[in-house]
A and B are shown apart, each in its own frame.
Chain A
Amino acid sequence: MSKDRVRVVVTGLGATTPLGGDVASTWSALLDGRSGIRTLTGDWVDSVPVKFAGLAAVDPNEVLPKPEARRLDRAEQFALIAAREAWRDAGSPEVEPERLGVVVGSGIGGITTILNAYDTFKEKGWTRLSPFTVPMLMPNGAAGWISIELGARAGAHAVASACATGAEAVGYAIEMIRSGRADVVVAGGTEAAIHPLNIASFAASRAMSTRNDEPERASRPFDRGRDGFVLGEGSGVIVLESEEHARARGARIYAVAGGVGYSADAHHITLPEQSGAGVMAAMRDALEDASLTGDDIRHVNAHATSTPAGDVLETIAISKVIGSHPLVTATKSMTGHLLGGAGGVESVFTIKALAHRIIPPTINLDDLDDGIEVEIVRDSPRPLPEGQLAAVNNSFGFGGHNVAVAFTTV
């Protein structure tokens, strides 16, 4: 901790996920080891090979007033709900608008809006399109809406790195505060992609589980029988703040956002690079950035999506960079994969694990795959010891993006 620079802390958490409409209900379901994956019932289900997903536990249309909901893509709805919760949770900080920033991204953006608008255009013509079609489909829409809501004028950014998006947003926020551009930044990721075209497209890339007879058992990171990821939806958003600003206002501090590491595989557009060099570089840089050693890291919220290609590789990278001692979990076993939202909700989970000193389990892990030399938290939660300790959240994305964020206890 010797680096002479601004320390960044986390003071607010917000989430809406397949397990719950807020952080408390989601966290409680995680500790109970519940699955948020359900059979889909849309009339289009027969046309796709995957018939289940992690739909949001609470429909945003039941939370938001109708006039507001109809101007927002579902991904923006999730982000706004999570951002409002995080902001309230942080105590609605008094901060100058010019010192308040937003970094909230999405992997895909408003794809449902695009597809529905194209149908309207073809069937009824351009005059029947909502004047909000563009702000609903643009991937920076959530960042823009949140900045309007909070009056955040230091900058509103939307990063896009597929399934690493939410973690990259948190990293960008850390750097925004360190560089002196802002005192407080609202950051995270969102996704609403449970649409037949997306399911068909991910199935076409042979990335999804087709365990249609057992949806709740389909997301099974590290298990020998895993056959692909399970699509989820929702958003996770956190409030980051300079420690000085947080202390001055007497804010509750959940954790220190110690550092971030990024890398690109520069290898294949969807497949992970087999040596794990990029994943290791991201974790190594996160540790270096946070002035931590592998020994300090006691917990890793793994990216582990339940695909045959990625899970074991990640554990090998963890053991090489950090060691075999951290307790590793894959919360996607319960939430499914929220794509651009994943790094946001999993940042929330990593921070909660440190703050409460308890790690949610990986469910559906019946038969540990070969080659995994780190300890996986399975079946039931595991406590973390007292004292100063640290955790890493990994997020990787199509395109070869690798992001690792290190958090420490206060």
Chain B
Amino acid sequence: MALTEQEILAGLGKIINEITGIPAAEVSPEKSFVDDLDIDSLSMVEIAVAAQDEFGVEIPDDQLKHLKTVKDVINFIQA
């Protein structure tokens, strides 16, 4: 059964908090990983690895580089 946007957002918030220390509450859909959350490329790889464990969806490197915002990742996981 497909996860809702809220469920994915909650999971991503937890993952991003564990990897970067950013409070989960600050992880909202419109936030840009680079510009708003100051997350570097290796941290994005860590997030993608953790997201695969959490949601069972692999995010290949050539896709990952196009995912600029939290909403982009949610959409990718839902697709």
Interface set of A (CB-CB < 8 Å, partner B): 65-68, 70, 127-132
Contacts and interface: CB of A to CB of B under 8 A. Distances in A.
DSSP class of B's interface residues: helix, strand, loop or mixed?
A: helix
A141 to B, nearest CB: 15
Given A67-B20, A70-B18, 10 more contacts: A66-B18, A66-B21, A68-B21, A127-B49, A127-B52, A127-B58, A128-B53, A131-B45, A131-B46, A132-B46
25 contacts: A65-B21, A66-B18, A66-B21, A67-B18, A67-B19, A67-B20, A67-B21, A68-B21, A70-B18, A70-B19, A127-B49, A127-B52, A127-B58, A128-B49, A128-B52, A128-B53, A129-B49, A130-B46, A130-B49, A131-B42, A131-B45, A131-B46, A131-B49, A132-B42, A132-B46
**Which among A65, A68, A127, A132 has the highest number of chain B CB atoms within 10 Å?**
A127
Interface string B5-36: 00000000000001111000000000000000
A61 to B, nearest CB: 12
A132 B43 CA distance: 9
Contacts of B58: 127
A66 B45 CA distance: 17
Nearest to B59: A127
Interface of B: 18-21, 42, 45-46, 49, 52-53, 58
DSSP class of A's interface residues: helix, strand, loop or mixed?
A: loop
The 9 A-B pairs with the shortest beta carbon distances in the complex, nearest first, are: A67-B21, A131-B45, A131-B42, A67-B20, A128-B49, A66-B18, A65-B21, A67-B19, A131-B46
Contacts of A129: 49
Contacts of B53: 128
A67 B18 CA distance: 6
Nearest to A69: B18
Contacts of A70: 18-19
Contacts of A68: 21
Contacts of A65: 21
Nearest to A71: B46
A130 B53 CA distance: 12
Nearest to A135: B42
Nearest to A65: B21
A216 B20 CA distance: 40
Contacts of A131: 42, 45-46, 49
Nearest to A68: B21
A282 B46 CA distance: 46
A67 B47 CA distance: 12
Contacts of B52: 127-128
A69 B45 CA distance: 17
Contacts of A130: 46, 49
A64 to B, nearest CB: 11
Contacts of B21: 65-68
Contacts of B42: 131-132
A127 B42 CA distance: 13
Contacts of B19: 67, 70
A66 B46 CA distance: 14
Contacts of A127: 49, 52, 58
Contacts of A128: 49, 52-53
Contacts of A66: 18, 21
A126 to B, nearest CB: 10
